[in-house]
Structure 1
Amino acid sequence: MNYLRECSFILKQRKWRIGLAVLLIILLIGGLGAYHERHNIRRLMLVHQRYQRTDILSTNQIKVNLRAGVSTKHTANTNQLTKQYRADLQRLTPGTDQAKVVVNPYHTSPLSGLILVKTKPAARVTVTVPGDTAATTITHQIKGYRRTHSVGVLGLYAGRTNHVRLTFTQKDGHRTTSTYKLTTAPAPRAIGHNRLKTSHPQQMALGQGHSRLTFAVSSQGLTYGLDAQGQIRWYSTAKISHVFKRLSNHHLLVLTKISPKSPKYNALRETDYYGRVYRQVNFSGLFPTRQDPHKLATNTVIHHDAIELPNHHLLLTVDDGSKKFVEDTMIELNFRTGKIVKVIDLKRILPKSAYQNYHGTTRPDGKIDWFHQNSMYYDTKRDELIISGRNQDMIFAINYRTTKLKWILAAPERLPQSYRHFLLKPTTKHYHYNGGQHAVKLIQTTSHNGHQVALEFYDNNVPVTRGKTRQSKQWSAGTTVTIDQLNRTVTKTWRFGQSLGKRNFTNIVGSSYAVGKGNTLIGFGYADAGKRSEFIEVNRKSNRVVFDVDHTKFAHGDWSYRAQRMTLYPQNNFQLTTIK
């Protein structure tokens, strides 16, 4: 009898435990569902929390709207390929004829290669990619003597078999040379056609080993690099929009898509010319639509520019999630963690009338693009940020820490009296104010009195809000001015493009960058109403054109946002190391 009672008790206890477990599972599932719903509700509330009361969003709301997060998918793929090549190298037997050759080793850079080889004596390697001319032959010497070599090759021609030479120099000076064949596919037709008009390589700023190319940075498509003869020597199959920058660690920073089929460019990627991915931050925010602010839609978060700050954080031009305004906010991003650490809303700096009474342009979505920030430059010496806004025809500087205005370069019309003491006063007779300008950059930050800076920018000559003259929309030009920050004066020092007239007038986009040898590379990105881009390198002293290429037959919308002169070999060695 006692035995039966014990069995009944144990059975009841087990049923109780099973019931409790089922109840806990139900509560857990329900809790997760409730958390998910609360999260969505909270997010929706944050998106809409202040829209009915103010046009200026809170910092916390902007952070939630943008939804930045570190992604490791592409980094993991890179590491897998790197481990494979490292294993391949270890398996090789010594001998330059036993090398393993890989074209496009990381699958997004078709004109790059990798040569794995072992040598019995330690040797230093020089890699040479023969060009069609002496000035287009690209050479690069790798520092250090070693027996195992992972040689990165850049600057291959498209659609041909490249005979790449490796010269092995031993410590006693003995040299041997081996040639390896790297065959590439033709460049995509989507890149378009590049026609060389002028080339004087000896006067061009091509860098050591002729490794500096002219990069046509796409607005939304394929970015590529040209040599001194206008031939394509690098391109990426990963579509890039606006941002193509070199970081202090010699890697590249690009703005691309989270996935190839994504409609927007919302992945900020640290990569290199081989296509390795070192770090990526994705932005997945959904923004209220102008037509119906209660509906959320995928939006481009980063739009025109990104720069690296001295602390290695990134400063980005962004849309902040407003249902009303676009392209008037910056964020400082900790690129390692994906955390936003600072927000700068230009509506908090510039006059209310600038955004409340703006009618210069319209957008299909009805949002107000009153400022249209397109570039920025950080002056390390002064802790100042120089900012360009197309639709206010304005360049201005702020103290980065305090965000207080320092000076404004713009025509005075429509600027409230309380802001006019920030205006720079022209010392040049009949000074022509910038209109719709792009690509601001300092080319000289010191002078005899310590207060002058030389500023370079691309003057589209499109007055959107202020500064209209008879010359407006008749030409566009690369421009330099000298700014005396103490006395708040501006003096025009150089301009090129006016003589080219309407043919090179560009209503949007464009760039003007000093590249060395006293030369400037100008990108007339939207010539002929967007049917043509032109890249001109010109000497600022003589105004002699030393390089000129016309770019045509590209897809609509893929005009060249900027033209940049950058080296293929910013760092010395190709390292087969995994990325943490």
Structure 2
Amino acid sequence: MKSGSRHRPWLVGGLIIIGLALAGGGVYWQQSRTAPVKDVARHAKQVEHTGGLATATIKQRLQPTLSTTGVTQTRRLSATYAKQLKPLKAGSAGKVITNPYRTSPLSALILVKTKAATQVTTEVVGDSPATTITHTIKGYRTSHQIGVLGLYANRTNQIKVTYTTKAGAKTVQTYAVKISKLPRDIGTNTLKTSTPSKMALGTGNAKLTFAVSSQGLTYGLDAQGQVRWYATNKISHVFKPLKNGRLLVLTKKKTSDSKYNALRITDYYGRIYKQYNFSGMFPTKADPNKLAVNTVIHHDAIELPNGDFLLTVDDGSAKYVEDTMIQIDRQRGKIKKIIDLKRVLFKSAYTKYKATHRSDGKKDWFHQNSMVYDQKHNLLIVSGRNQSMILGLNYQTGKLKWILGADQKIPAAYKKYLIKPAKGTKFQYNGGQHAINILGESDGGNVLHLEYYDNNVAVTRGDLKTSKKYSFGTEVSLNQQEKTVQSLWSYGQSRGQANFTNIVGSSYNVGQGNTLIGFGYADSGKRSEFVEVNRQTNQVIFDVNRTNFAAGDWSYRAERLSLYLKVES
């Protein structure tokens, strides 16, 4: 110490105090970056400082508008068919209208009147008993608008319609309906295996295997791999059945648009009931003053118990993408809730992310691709590919409950949220996973039975030894209280590199003890494969290869859905 300092002890003491304060402040600042977020609202300013957006700004940039164009056309066509039905004579063959609502070529509408009140059963004659699709329309009436789904393309279909009176008397009328060939964009679907007697085909064989498009034509296959439904309007990622028997799809506002910014409530006939339009005009990272059109909803949309929709969105940031959710009011389309995952996870997850790169320079640090909501326990589960994480959140508060993901690059303060293998078991942690879903629960909701598709690619974290060697569908049991997990079943490892999919994919329990797996990005996106496998025997009972489709239009998910959706009262 210099002699001058020895004569000024107050100076030395002051410097020590300042140094300790600075050190303490540094420690506090460092901890504040990694400490779990206890109050999402208080965390907002930090997020905004790193390039995120304020809630008010997100609402301003994303607020959807209601479109009446398609709804008006649907009402006009429905009125036309009602008018055409009115003058028909009872007992006549009636009138058949193919593709009645212009976007569903493998559908038809039969207008007919009967002398007595009858109940109608339709039968589209298939190439085999398992591909013959039947459906009964409940109720007895004399004026009928009979909807028919599941026609074949490029042939003349035989539709048998049975009219049954309340007394049990039956009359059968057969209609010949010619349908033109399929569009080339669907690609080639090659049947490898089919055991219909063991498949989950539903009542009247009306359940098809739907290849949900990434950005193109979505279609449904029967038990022999034949296309029995498709929509001519292009769909991206979102194709969900709703509780009222309708469908929620993400499509384009106009066919000529480059982006998918119309969220539509429709059905298998193509009727449009409601549509929410998004502008998608966001600032670019290169020049925040310059706007460019983007697709707002990117991977998933779910129906909440109150009928509202929860959507995965780009929130309009010039820096970050695919890390936000919004809840919109079903009736008005107004945004009611926003969940920004930057306000949930640790700062380094999004500020230091370098695992993937986009051509526009924005950070796709989380890449949320699916979600599921448990109303009873107010639990929202979300999947993020680029963090190789499945998160459990309190939906009301937005607070983190647990993390299913490998213990790599996790700040010490967040390790308490990590789910660990159950005692005495080994567990392969998820890598780049998709299609999270709740199959069931026990112990009052504490133990969750989950299913998901594990791409098995260690993006930010994952199983480094097996990464990119295979992909698989899996079911696991997760104990939220003990924060433990154990594997219950998986399939895909035996297929090895041939069915490794770097992106996209799905794995869904479809009934009959079977799971339908969509290996959507096989052979680096040149092939999609749909495999139904029995979980007890691991026997493959249905297998279709899809090839020769347009670049970028691999099948995002494979789902087993009924053409005749159950309508809840």
TM-score by length of structure 2 reads 0.90
Report the Cα distance in structure 2 between the residues aligned to 1:303 and 1:240, rounded to whole angstroms.
11
Report the CA distance between 1:518 and its aligned residue.
Answer: 1.2
State the match for 1:184 in structure 2. Answer: 179
1:359-414, Cα deviation, whole Å (9 max, x unpaired): 00000000000000000000122110000000000001101001111111000110
Amino acid paired to 2:116: P
State the match for 2:506 in structure 1. Answer: 511
Amino acid paired to 2:295: T
Matched, 1:497 2:495: no
Query: Which of 49, 67, 74 in structure 1 is aligned with 2:70?
Result: 74
Matched, 1:372 2:367: yes
State the match for 1:105 in structure 2. Answer: 100
Report the CA distance between 1:429 and its aligned residue.
Answer: 3.5
Aligned ranges 1:513-532 → 2 under 5 Å? 513-532=508-527
> Counterpart of 1:371 in 2: which secondary structure?
coil
State the match for 1:466 in structure 2. Answer: 461
Report the Cα distance in structure 2 between the residues aligned to 1:67 and 1:264, rounded to whole angstroms.
17
Report the Cα distance in structure 1 between the residues aligned to 2:160 and 2:295, rounded to whole angstroms.
44
State the match for 1:206 in structure 2. Answer: 201
State the match for 1:32 in structure 2. Answer: none
Amino acid paired to 2:409: R
Report the Cα distance in structure 1 between the residues aligned to 2:328 and 2:542, rounded to whole angstroms.
37
Aligned ranges 1:288-437 → 2 under 5 Å? 288-427=283-422, 429-437=425-433
Segments of 5+ residues of structure 2 without an aligned counterpart are 1-44
State the match for 2:471 in structure 1. Answer: 476
Query: Which of 123, 127, 130 in structure 1 is aligned with 2:125?
Result: 130
Query: Which of 558, 561, 569 in structure 1 is aligned with 2:564?
Result: 569
Amino acid paired to 1:500: R
Amino acid paired to 2:86: Q
> Counterpart of 1:529 in 2: which secondary structure?
helix
Matched, 1:243 2:199: no
Amino acid paired to 1:152: G
CA pair 403-198 structure 1, distance change in 2 beyond 3 A: same
CA pair 141-96 structure 1, distance change in 2 beyond 3 A: farther
TM-score by length of structure 1 reads 0.89
Amino acid paired to 1:94: A
Q: Name the Cα RMSD after superposition.
A: 1.5
Report the CA distance between 1:266 and its aligned residue.
Answer: 0.2
Query: Which of 429, 435, 460 in structure 2 is aligned with 1:439?
Result: 435
Matched, 1:168 2:181: no
State the match for 1:88 in structure 2. Answer: 84
Report the Cα distance in structure 2 between the residues aligned to 1:553 and 1:467, rounded to whole angstroms.
32
State the match for 1:194 in structure 2. Answer: 189
Number of residues paired by the alignment? 523
State the match for 1:61 in structure 2. Answer: 57
Segments of 5+ residues of structure 1 without an aligned counterpart are 1-48, 574-580
1:1-44, Cα deviation, whole Å (9 max, x unpaired): xxxxxxxxxxxxxxxxxxxxxxxxxxxxxxxxxxxxxxxxxxxx
Report the CA distance between 1:469 and its aligned residue.
Answer: 2.1
Q: Is residue 122–residue 147 contact of structure 1 (8 Å, CA) maintained in 2?
A: yes
Report the CA distance between 1:96 and its aligned residue.
Answer: 4.0
> Counterpart of 1:543 in 2: which secondary structure?
coil
Runs of 4+ in 1 over 3 A off after TM superposition: 49-54
Q: Is residue 117–residue 165 contact of structure 2 (8 Å, CA) maintained in 1?
A: yes
Q: Is residue 67–residue 285 contact of structure 1 (8 Å, CA) maintained in 2?
A: no
Report the Cα distance in structure 1 between the residues aligned to 2:304 and 2:91, rounded to whole angstroms.
45
1:520-568, Cα deviation, whole Å (9 max, x unpaired): 1000000001000000001111111110000000000000000000000
Report the CA distance between 1:50 and its aligned residue.
Answer: 11
> Counterpart of 1:146 in 2: which secondary structure?
strand
Report the Cα distance in structure 2 between the residues aligned to 1:62 and 1:504, rounded to whole angstroms.
39
Report the CA distance between 1:54 and its aligned residue.
Answer: 4.3
State the match for 2:27 in structure 1. Answer: none
> Counterpart of 2:430 in 1: which secondary structure?
coil
Report the CA distance between 1:55 and its aligned residue.
Answer: 1.9
> Counterpart of 2:435 in 1: which secondary structure?
strand
Report the CA distance between 1:293 and its aligned residue.
Answer: 1.2
Report the Cα distance in structure 2 between the residues aligned to 1:96 and 1:179, rounded to whole angstroms.
12
State the match for 2:480 in structure 1. Answer: 485
Report the Cα distance in structure 2 between the residues aligned to 1:525 and 1:135, rounded to whole angstroms.
26
